[in-house]
């Protein structure tokens, strides 16, 4: 294995940072009114006072709910190494009650070095969990239940939520339930019997402000001075970042990005793309990297789909669009073919192909999800007769055809009237 260059090393370092949420969210936790401090206060008081608690962390996807919680839990595990144990569930994986109880039992067994039985039934597992809660309560040990994708647990009978929260009603138990959800109305989904047992603490996560993000850029991109990099390289790298950041064009890029989507996730993706475009020879980032990253973030799949179409497929799309303009409520391949023929008859276009070729093109459009069947009923009919609909708007079609490499002028005219 040959020695990696400083450029590769810095790339590795920065990409590693971007992929580690705990590193990204660390600086946002410093202030006293941050979500981190709030959450830590609530959980640590429940640990020290030995009481039960339940909290919901709400916010859009990718706003760092789980990352902040991980930081808090990590710190608490260091602070109270003997009196905290963490059980993690994810709604995507464990929304099924049976599966969820089994997973809790499994993690409890792992934690306390007990033998886990795969064959245990739902009842046995739930009894085991209640017993464990009591035991832990007696030993003054707090169990933190982290329920990611909380809203998924609220589907169905909510048996897991009920039994957890009900077990917490007893004096002996000592547990904290922390739900994470991107649905702001997650607590409204709960049944009455569950809701009454839930203490309605909610912490809202918001996207970072521009100032916070500026600080974050510094934190993510600057190289540490005391590392094994050549000293000149570090200062050059950091200088370059500073230059880019003060550039007005860079500020414009950031503004467009913020206007589109200002969650942490999309910002991180943007930086990741820019960093991966870094020139490995010079080992420095440039403004062009960020520009290219922005343009690759601003994809318009529907326009791309139209641009991918062949001329014949464009003809079919235009025919469908014309039928829609004529206020024909529904249409199928046969009626599209009729329209195609009228166009051919009145304009004598050179692109008039047999029906089976058109049907193939039609199927291509459906495969690419530019069109789809209007309804799922009527599968007794063959594809030609099933009603269809366009999945792109008129303006998208128009724009896509304008930017198409070789769209005939007559098609654009036909689209307009």
Closest CA to 13 of 234, 297, 215: 234
Question: How many CA atoms are closer than 13 Å to the CA of 242, on its beta-carbon side?
Answer: 7
Cα separation, 108 vs 347, in Å, equals 75
The answer to whether residue 393 forms part of the interface with another protein (CB under 8 A) is: no
Give the integer Cα–Cα distance in Å for 322 and 325.
Answer: 5
Under rule CB under 8 A, residue 16 binds another protein: yes
49 sits near another protein (criterion: CB under 8 A)? no
**Which stretch, 33-41, 78-86, 156-164, 383-391, contacts another protein (CB under 8 A)?**
383-391
Cα–Cα distance, 222 to 267 (Å, whole number): 17
DSSP letters of 269-292? Answer: HHHHHHHHT--TTT----HHHHHH
Q: How far is the CB of 380 from another protein (least distance, A)?
A: 5
Min dist CB 79 to another protein, Å, is: 22
Question: Using the rule CB under 8 A, which residue among 115, 119, 171, 405 binds another protein?
Answer: 405
Nearest to 274 by CA among 217, 229, 227, 228: 217
Residue 176 · residue 142 · CB < 8 Å:
yes
120, 122, 359, 410: residue in contact with another protein (rule CB under 8 A): 359
> Contact between 383 and another protein (CB under 8 A)?
yes
Instruction: Report which of 229, 216, 189, 207 is spatially closest to residue 91, judged by C-alpha positions.
Output: 189
In the complex, what is the shortest distance from the CB of residue 355 to another protein, in angstroms, rounded to a whole number? 7
Residues near 306 by beta carbon (within 8 Å), at least 6 away in sequence? 314, 317, 370, 392, 396, 397, 399, 400, 401, 404
Q: Which is nearer to another protein, 30 or 114 (CB)?
A: 114
DSSP E strands in 4-63: the ranges are: 53-58
Contact map string, positions 104 to 143, toward another protein, x by CB under 8 A: ----------------------------------------
94 lies in the binding site for another protein (CB under 8 A): yes
Sole binder of another protein in the list 20, 184, 206, 394 (CB under 8 A):
20
Pick the closest to residue 267 from 259, 282, 257 (CA basis). 257
What number of residues does the chain have? Answer: 417
Contact present, 197 and 169 (Cβ < 8 Å): yes
CB 198 to another protein: min, Å: 22
- Is residue 57 at the binding interface for another protein, with CB under 8 A as the rule? no
Query: Is residue 354 within the footprint of another protein (CB under 8 A)?
Result: yes
- Nearest-CA neighbor of 70 among 108, 25, 16? 25
Near another protein by CB under 8 A: residue from 19, 30, 131, 394:
19
Smallest gap from Cβ 416 to another protein, in A, equals 22
Give the residue, chosen from 30, 131, 357, 394, that forms a contact with another protein under the rule CB under 8 A: 357
Q: Would you list the DSSP string of 77-102?
A: HHHSTTTEEEEEEEHHHH-SHHHHHH
Q: Residue 218 and residue 223: Cα distance in Å, rounded?
A: 9
Q: For another protein, which is the closer residue by CB, 131 or 334?
A: 334
Q: Could you say which residues in the range 226-265 bind another protein, by CB under 8 A?
A: 265
CA 31 to CA 176: how far, in whole Å?
A: 24
Q: How far is CA 43 from the centre of its chain?
A: 27
Any contact of residue 74 with another protein (CB under 8 A)?
A: no
| Residue 128 C-beta: closest distance to another protein, Å | 18
Closest CA to 146 of 68, 224, 252: 68
Q: Which stretch binds another protein (CB under 8 A): 172-180, 210-218, 225-233, 346-354?
A: 346-354
Beta bridge partners, 142, equal 84
Q: Counting contacts by CB under 8 A, is residue 156 touching another protein?
A: no
How many amino acids of this chain bind another protein (CB under 8 A)?
70
Subset of 179-218 contacting another protein (CB under 8 A): 182
101: contact with another protein by CB under 8 A? no
Residue 169 engages another protein in binding (rule: CB under 8 A): no
Please tell me what DSSP assigns to residue 331: B
> Per CB under 8 A, which region of 15-23, 33-41, 71-79, 185-193 contacts another protein?
15-23
Give the separation between CA 230 and CA 360, rounded to whole angstroms. 60
Tell me which of 259, 299, 348, 376 binds another protein, using CB under 8 A. 299
| Binding positions for another protein, rule: CB under 8 A | 4, 8, 11-12, 15-16, 18-20, 60-62, 66, 90, 92-94, 96, 99, 103, 148, 182, 265, 268-269, 272-273, 276-277, 296, 299, 301-302, 304-305, 307-308, 310-312, 328, 330-332, 334-335, 338, 351, 353-357, 359-361, 363-364, 367-369, 380-385, 387, 405-406
């Amino acid at each position: 294995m040959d020695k990696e260059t400083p450029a590769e090393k810095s790339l590795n370092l920065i990409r590693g940072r971007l992929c580690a949420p705990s590193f990204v969210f660390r600086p946002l936790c410093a202030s006293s009114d941050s979500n981190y401090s709030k959450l830590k206060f609530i959980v640590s008081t429940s640990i020290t006072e030995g009481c039960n608690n339940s909290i919901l962390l709400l916010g859009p996807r990718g706003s760092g709910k789980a990352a902040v919680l991980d930081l808090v839990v990590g710190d608490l595990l260091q602070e109270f190494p003997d009196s905290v144990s963490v059980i993690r569930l994810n709604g995507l994986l464990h929304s099924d009650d049976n599966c969820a109880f089994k997973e809790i039992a499994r993690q409890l067994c792992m934690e306390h070095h007990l033998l886990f039985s795969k064959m245990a039934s739902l009842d046995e597992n739930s009894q085991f969990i209640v017993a464990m809660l009591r035991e832990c309560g007696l030993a003054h040990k707090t169990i933190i239940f982290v329920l990611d994708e909380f809203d998924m647990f609220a589907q169905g009978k909510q048996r897991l939520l009920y039994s957890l929260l009900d077990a917490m009603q007893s004096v002996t138990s000592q547990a904290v339930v922390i739900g994470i959800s991107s649905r702001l109305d997650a607590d409204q989904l709960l049944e009455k019997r569950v809701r009454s047992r839930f203490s309605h603490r909610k912490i809202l996560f918001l996207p970072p402000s521009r100032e916070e993000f500026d600080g974050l850029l510094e934190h993510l991109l600057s190289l540490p001075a005391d590392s094994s990099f050549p000293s000149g390289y570090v200062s050059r790298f950091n200088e370059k970042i500073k230059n880019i950041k003060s550039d007005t064009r860079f500020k414009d890029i950031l503004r467009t990005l913020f206007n589109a989507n200002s969650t942490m996730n999309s910002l991180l993706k943007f930086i990741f793309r820019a960093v991966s475009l870094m020139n490995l020879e010079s080992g420095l980032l440039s403004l062009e990297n960020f520009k290219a990253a922005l343009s690759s973030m601003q994809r318009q799949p529907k326009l791309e789909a139209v641009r991918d179409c062949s001329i014949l497929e464009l003809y079919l799309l235009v025919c469908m669009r014309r039928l829609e303009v004529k206020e024909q409520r529904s249409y199928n391949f046969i009626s599209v073919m009729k329209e195609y023929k009228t166009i051919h008859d009145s304009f004598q276009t050179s692109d008039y192909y047999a029906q089976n070729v058109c049907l193939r093109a039609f199927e291509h459009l459906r495969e690419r999800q530019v069109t789809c069947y209007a309804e799922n009923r009527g599968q007794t009919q063959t594809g030609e007769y099933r009603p269809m609909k366009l999945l792109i708007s008129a303006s998208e079609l128009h724009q896509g055809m304008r930017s198409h490499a070789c769209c005939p002028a007559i098609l654009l005219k036909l689209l307009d009237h």
